[in-house]
Amino acid sequence: MTDVLIVGGGIMGLWAAVKAVRAGLFVHLVERERIGAGASGGLVGALMPHMPDRWNPKKQFQFEALASLEAEIAPLEAETGLSAGYRRSGRIMPLGKPHLRTIALRHEQEAVTNWHQSGSTFLWNVQDSPDVIGWPAAEACEHGVVLDTLAARVFPRSFLNLLKTWLERQHDIIVEEGTGVDRLELGCGRATLSDGRVITFDHCILANGVDLFKTTDCVTTSGLATPPLGVPVKGQAALLDAGIDPALPVVFQDGLYIIPHEGGRVAIGSTSEDKFDEPLSTDAQLDVLIERARAFAPCLRDAPVIQRWAGLRPKAIGRDPIAGRHPDHKSLHLLGGGFKISFGIAHRLAEAVIDRISGKAAALPPSFELAHHFALRR
Ligand SMILES: Cc1cc2nc3c(=O)[nH]c(=O)nc-3n(C[C@H](O)[C@H](O)[C@H](O)COP(=O)(O)OP(=O)(O)OC[C@H]3O[C@@H](n4cnc5c(N)ncnc54)[C@H](O)[C@@H]3O)c2cc1C
């Protein structure tokens, strides 16, 4: 009998496993393909804060998560000798129109209040030009730039490898790849795996990415099936060998991310496609994005593309992540739907779910709770 069965080896499932092991629980993590086979195995890894205006519990939760992530990663890196590719490199956003500067100056003041908490101070600075000429190109920055010091980045595949390696060195856990959970019987705590084995559990955490929204035996058993709690949104990204300074800030504008990673590589993301025929292949939309990035950052003009990638992001209805216990099935917990912000908050979401399993109180923003998502679905 396992204390916690975790379905899915993406960023959500892996953090749930780390937190569960640390809480002294016996964990069985089952991944249908391989760790990182889903959306988490990508190239981008931006850790982008919400705007500092109109503060609410969701923004507070994300702020605390982003502020704490570095300290969460450091001991895992020290224990494994591996790197997550984490750096708080900040984010630069060009201001191409005068009204954008007016709004940005307002946000600058809002950040003074909302991004200054419990000894952590982060800035939303409006500047006339970027600190590094050409990052981004002057034509894009006619009305200045915003430089925020809260944003950071990780390299997703390195981060997953770090978490996986740490977990494999622990005693109270089984990590299985190449085996799916085909069926859950929640009343008796039984899971049937794709190879026919049956395992028993006290608690099950569904962290199965876009499959959380599918009609499968798993979800029909839990009464989650129709209509679904969210939808998959396809995203495409590319990795360039640019030889640039990895400390440069992330460039962001209108859905375009340009992320300098260690080793001088640069990730470019991402398309957001509600309709698609081929979920995992790249096409001309990615070429358009790459050209846009090269125009924004001339130093990327001749950088060769070394990888192209596409994946399906789990986007919950209403866009907020889903975390918590199912109201009708006390042994079932959901963790997912993080859309574009999962990497910055997964550790805190997982902690809350594991705390509740361990009988501790754990606050989550009301809009993350299952009851809220069920209400939106109706
Ligand atoms: C192009 C692109 C760019 C992105 N950029 C960013 C970014 O910059 N920053 C950010 O924070 N987020 C970003 N995201 C979003 C982020 O990648 C996702 O929100 C996140 O990875 C979701 O993690 P997850 O663990 O919920 O799901 P996944 O990573 O999809 O993991 C779910 C896992 O469950 C497994 N599984 C499914 N069903 C079963 C079953 N029955 N049994 C066992 N295993 C099962 C799957 O094989 C999969 O490995 C991006 C996504 C895309 C596509």
Q: Among 66, 211, 281, say which to mutate for ligand 1: greatest number of ligand atoms within 8 Å of CB.
A: 211
Q: Could you tell me the two tokens for 155? A: 């390299």
In angstroms, what is the span from residue 111 Cα to ligand 1's centroid?
30
- Cα–Cα nearest to 16, from 313, 335, 320: 335
Please identify, by atom number, the ligand 1 atom nearest to the C-alpha of residue 156.
Answer: 17
pLDDT of residue 217: 44
Contacts of 322 (CB under 8 A, 6+ apart): 212, 229, 230, 316, 334, 335, 336, 337, 368, 370, 373
In Å, how far from its chain's centre is CA 40? 7
Distance (angstroms) between ligand 1 centre and the Cα of 313 equals 6
Taking the chain (378 residues) in runs of 10, the rounded mean pLDDT of each run is 96 98 98 98 98 97 97 98 98 96 98 93 97 96 97 98 98 96 92 96 96 64 63 97 98 96 98 97 98 96 98 92 91 93 98 97 94 84
Q: Which atom of ligand 1 is found nearest the CA of 233?
A: 53
Domain ranges within the chain, ordered by starting residue: 2-42+157-230+318-377, 84-151+231-314
Q: Which atom of ligand 1 is nearest to the CA of 44?
A: 8
293: left (phi over 0), alpha (psi -120 to 50) or beta: alpha
Q: Which residue out of 193, 281, 340, 353 has the highest number of ligand 1 atoms within 8 Å of its CB and is therefore the one to mutate?
A: 340
Q: Which ligand 1 atom is nearest residue 35's CA?
A: 49
pLDDT digits (tens, 9 = 90+) for 198-229: 999 999 999 999 999 875 445 444 445 556 88
pLDDT in the model for residue 226: 57
Residues with CB under 6 A from ligand 1: 7-13, 30-33, 37-40, 42, 44-46, 180-181, 207-209, 211, 218, 235-237, 269-270, 311, 313-314, 336, 338-344
Cα distances from 103 to residues 53, 95, 110, 158, in angstroms, run 10, 10, 11, 36
Rounded CA gap, 194 and 201, in Å?
Answer: 16
Q: Which CATH class is domain 2-42+157-230+318-377?
A: alpha beta
Q: What global pTM score does this model have? A: 0.97
What's the pLDDT tens digit per position in 32-50? 999 999 999 999 999 999 9
Report pLDDT for 224: 52
Which CATH architecture does the domain made up of 84-151+231-314 adopt? 2-Layer Sandwich (3.30)
Q: What is the pLDDT of residue 225?
A: 53
Please answer whether residues 170 and 153 qualify as being in contact, where contact means their C-beta atoms are separated by less than 8 angstroms. Answer: no
Instruction: Give which of 29, 10, 61 is closest to 367, Cα–Cα.
Output: 61
Of 343, 318, 371, give the one whose Cα is nearest residue 162.
Answer: 343
Q: Identify which of 29, 35, 44 to mutate to test ligand 1's pocket (most ligand atoms within 8 A of the CB).
A: 44
Residue of 40, 164, 182, 271 to mutate, ligand 1, most atoms within 8 A of C-beta: 40
**Distance from the CA of 276 to the center of ligand 1, in angstroms?**
17
Shortest-distance Cα residue to atom 35 of ligand 1: 8
Atom in ligand 1 nearest the alpha carbon of residue 344: 11
